[in-house]
Amino acid sequence: MDFNLRISICRVILIYGLCFNLTHAASLDYLRSTLTNYFSDTRHHATNPKYKQLTATFIYDEFIRFGLETTYQNFDFDGVDFANVIGVLKGDNFGTYDDHIIGVGAHYDTVKLTKGVDDNGSGSAALLEVVRQLTSLKSKRKHTVIFIAFDREEYENAHFDGKSYGALGSKYLISQWLLPWIQKNYPQTVGTFSPYGIIVLDTLMDYNNSAMSQIIPPDSLQEFQQLFPGVVKNLQSDNLQGDFLATIFRTQFDSRLANEFHQQWGKMGRADYEIEMFGLASNLPDDVLNKVADLNRSDHINFWAKNIPAIFLSDSANLRGKMQDCYHHVCDSLEVMLNDDNLNFLAKTSDTIAATVDKLSQSYAAVSGAPGVGKTLFTLMTASSICVFLKQTASML
């Protein structure tokens, strides 16, 4: 083989290897160990408070280890103490009108008896993996990122104003921490504050490519066909395989965040791990919304109620595969849920969240040691742009 040709082939291999690493950065070892050591048993204040505290402490310590400004937000409900864990990664625009905050959140608690590996160990592990990825880049960013591990998302015995509620952690976070925090740090923007929004993660790792493994609730089929005709057509043409991540959003308020996530998903490879976009129109009548209530049962609903953009990512929980039997039951366990397909599905989701946050927060590298300048900041192309450039160069070799 000609020497120059061999050199060219080596360059192409190196280039594609670099691009693969840039766009597929999730650590399977970190995800696996996190799930195994801290999200493999019940995390309920009454039935397993010690393990739940172990989990909360681990999240707090990881936020600290990765360099976030970290705090507990404690709140009381029915005489029981609960705690959200909050980590802030400040951007250059922190405290100014130009800061467009993006958040990532997942609840870490469970119902009384489940092990909660998928619900919601998977979302919590992905949250921490995204923190690990973004902080390991050693880059800076223009916009602030907030990471939140919600407590008391599960609804058991949660009553407020005579009604039963879940998602209490996010409700109290917004009213008792987020809005006061914005008023304190962004006083000049009150009434005009413009965040990118929050990505809410809940049950993310049940992947099933078997035919008929995905349920569309029979009593809601008409409403699903009315609201999401493209999704229903895709699922039916795919023999109802549970091989996709569901992205739930409001078309009027959350499309920018949802569309960016969708674009980044397409750049991550593994086309067998699909995505479906559930865009809800505004001002839908209550009777229609009630028919698709499965799309509204996580922490995103409280952000929607305050007109804060939010998208909800899920494997659809009890509408899919093994979670049809294991949702909120003891078999939501490592033995059932932790396998290679599920772990790689969770890894692609984590990569996509990290890429979305990195893009919207406008990260850039901080380079020190430039003569006469001290620390000089150079805005970088995104990883995907670098890959496109390198691949085009490689094609000319």
Full set of structural domains in the chain with CATH: 12-207+242-283+297-366 (3.40.630.10)
d(CA 298, CA 106) in angstroms, rounded, equals 9
Nearest to 315 by CA among 213, 204, 215, 241: 204
Once rounded to an integer, what is the mean pLDDT over residues 112-123?
Answer: 97
Once rounded to an integer, what is the mean pLDDT over residues 13-36?
Answer: 69
Query: Which residue, chain included where needed, has tokens 């023999």?
Result: 239
Tokens describing residue 324: 């049809």
- Compute the Cα dihedral for 132, 136, 137, 142 and give only its sign: positive
Residues with Cβ within 8 Å of residue 217, at least 6 apart in sequence:
224, 294, 319
- Compute the Cα dihedral for 133, 138, 139, 140 and give only its sign: positive
Tokens describing residue 384: 């995907």
Task: Provide the b/e sequence for 380-397 (b: ≥16 CB within 10 Å).
Answer: eebbbeebeebeeebeee
d(CA 171, CA 248) in angstroms, rounded, equals 19
pLDDT (tens digit, 9 = 90+) per residue, 342-365?
A: 999 999 999 999 999 999 999 998
pLDDT (tens digit, 9 = 90+) per residue, 133-180?
A: 999 988 899 999 999 999 999 976 544 444 555 799 999 999 999 999
Choice among 163-177, 213-227, 263-277, 333-347 with the minimum mean pLDDT: 163-177
- Tell me the whole-structure pTM to 2 decimals: 0.87
DSSP 207-239: -B-STT-B---GGGHHHHHHH-HHHHHHHHHTT
- Compute the Cα dihedral for 65, 71, 77, 79 and give only its sign: positive
Query: Which residue, chain included where needed, has tokens 């905050």?
Result: 101
